[in-house]
Amino acid sequence: MRNLILSSAILLASLTQLSQASEFPVTVESCGRTITFDNAPQRAVIHDQNMSQMAFALGIQKNIVGLTGITGWYKTQPQFDKDRGDIPELAAKSPTTENVLSVDPDLFFAGWNYGMSTDGELTPQSLAQFGVPVLELTESCVHLSKSGSDASMDLLYNDVLRLGAVFGVKEKATTLVNEWKRRLQEVTHTLNERPKIKVFLYDSGEDKIFTSGRFGMPTALIRAAGGINVMDNMDTSWSKVGIEAVMNAEPDFLILVDYQKGGWKSSWEFIKNHPVLSTLDAVKNERFLPLEYGEITPGPLNIQAIEKLVSKMHIKGN
């Protein structure tokens, strides 16, 4: 009888824990809209590598019936391919409404300029006509509001916590976020004692350079790593600037976005051979770091990106 009571207590505790992990209905916010889920989505479609990695980190692959915007933009890492398994890609780049609807989804997780555009036909409103709710990447909401707070690590943390709540794995999401915070504390706890490093992110472009402003995730990464994004006076997440603006900012360090696993080399060749950009001290001293797309957009790889930045930016003498 004692064993039976003990077993029953353990079972009850387990069921209670499961209930707490899967409390529904769940109401969340998405770019100023509220969405209520009566149960966890079973047929989600997710756009882009970084948002897929959020879902993979939560272990909800069984709830995903399609990805979009993966192979058309960049190469993936073996770990991504392993985590993805046999989940099909519905569109190599930006999907259409038909692409998304082709698998009878019950959720689309994307963002503005991350699979959806403000002047495009695929929107939360267009999918609402078919009963498909849309969760938007929080970093992308600025394309609707044109204003907001500077980017911070909460862009990652809160989106993962929201995703965890929607899919009934909020405890797992909380554990994941707490571990990320612990890792960052471990690597950044002495940075306040060091001078701030001025950083410029080079994504692409020649006459005009595509880079990230104060609402973009790179600002949060750079600040967490003890730096200053020299373009954080730009009231946008991603935009173009002229060569003169880069020179006036006098960055001490460069981030090169690497889309193709070594593609950063062509960016570096362009910069170091440019008649003006090559005169920057950061270029003369080869003070730069390539980071993958998944590292500089909101997603689990942000943590390792900050760890890399801290290691590379704060060398002796800087």
Q: Residue 229: which H helix or E strand, with range?
A: strand 227-229
What is the pLDDT at residue 314? 87
Sign of the Cα torsion 50, 315, 190, 148 reads negative
Would you state the pLDDT for residue 259? 85
- pLDDT, position 22: 57
Predicted pLDDT of residue 156: 98
Q: Is the pTM of this model over 0.85?
A: yes
Burial (CB < 10 A; 0-12, 13-18, 19+), residue 259, is: middle
Q: Give the pLDDT of residue 5.
A: 45
Residue 165's CB is within 10 A of a number of other CB atoms, namely 21
Length of the chain: 318
Domain 22-177 in CATH 3.40.50.720? The answer is no
Q: By C-alpha distance, which of 174, 152, 153, 148 is closest to 163?
A: 174
User: How many whole angstroms separate alpha carbon 47 and alpha carbon 45?
Assistant: 7
CA pair distance 127, 5, nearest whole angstrom: 50
Is 215:245 a contact under the CB 8 Å cutoff? no
pLDDT at residue 149 in the model: 86
- Give the pLDDT confidence score for residue 189 in this predicted structure: 86
Rounded to whole angstroms, the Cα distance separating 114 from 91 reads 13
For residue range 200-211, list pLDDT tens digits in order. 999 999 989 999
Domain ranges of the chain: 22-177, 190-313
* Domain at 190-313, CATH class: alpha beta
d(CA 246, CA 50) in angstroms, rounded, equals 27
Q: Could you tell me if residue 63 is left (phi over 0), alpha (psi between -120 and 50 degrees) or otherwise beta?
A: alpha
Contact of 243 with 253, CB cutoff 8 Å: no
Low-confidence ranges of the chain (pLDDT < 70): 1-22, 316-318
Q: Token match 């997710």: residue?
A: 46
pLDDT at 13: 46
Phi/psi region, residue 286 (left: phi>0; alpha: psi -120 to 50; beta: rest), is left
Q: State how far the alpha carbon of 199 is from the alpha carbons of 152, 155, 211, 228, in Å.
A: 16, 20, 11, 6
Fold agreement between 22-177 and 190-313: yes
* pLDDT (0 to 100) of residue 165: 98
**Spatial CA neighbour of 174 closest among 188, 152, 158:** 158
- What is the rounded CA–CA span in Å between residue 219 and residue 234? 11
